[in-house]
Amino acid sequence: MNSMIIWMGALTISLCATILSAASGAALLHLTVTALVTLAIAIVAVQSDRQIGGPAVRSVRAATTARYTALGWIWAGIAIFVTYSFILRSWPEWWQVSIGLLAVGALSLILAQVFDRDAKAEREDESLLKLSRLLNVLQIVGMLAAAVGLVLDRKFTFGASTIRPDWAANNILFFGAIAIACIGVHALAADTRLENSGKA
Which candidate, 180, 172, 170, places its Cα nearest to that of 149? Answer: 170
The pLDDT of residue 10 is 80
Taking only the tens place, the pLDDT of each residue in 21-74 is 999 988 999 999 999 999 999 999 999 998 887 788 999 999 999 999 999 999
The better pLDDT of the pair 8, 41 is held by: 41
Torsion sign across C-alpha atoms 64, 143, 93, 89:
positive
Using an 8 Å Cβ cutoff, are 53 and 94 in contact? Answer: no
User: What are phi and psi for residue 116, nearest 5 degrees?
Assistant: -60, -40
Helical pair 57-82 and 94-120, crossing angle rounded to 10 deg: 160
Percentage of the chain exceeding pLDDT 70: 96
Say which amino acid occupies 123.
R
The pLDDT of residue 200 is 47
Torsion sign across C-alpha atoms 85, 157, 142, 51:
negative
Taking only the tens place, the pLDDT of each residue in 63-104 is 999 999 999 999 999 999 999 999 999 899 999 999 999 999
- Say which DSSP state 102 is in: H
Residue 73 lies in domain: 2-199
pTM for the model stands at: 0.94
List helix spans (H) across 51-82: 57-82
CA distance 172 to 30: 9
Give the rounded distance of the alpha carbon of 146 from its chain centre: 13
The pLDDT of residue 195 is 74
Neighbours of 137 (CB within 10 A): 13
Which candidate, 177, 171, 169, places its Cα nearest to that of 91? Answer: 169
The better pLDDT of the pair 182, 11 is held by: 182
N- to C-terminal Cα separation, the chain: 38
The pLDDT of residue 163 is 86
Checking if the pLDDT of 161 tops 90, the result is no
Number of domains in the chain: 1
Mean pLDDT of the chain: 91
Taking only the tens place, the pLDDT of each residue in 106-136 is 999 999 999 999 999 999 999 999 999 999 9
Confidence of residue 198 (pLDDT cuts 50, 70, 90): low
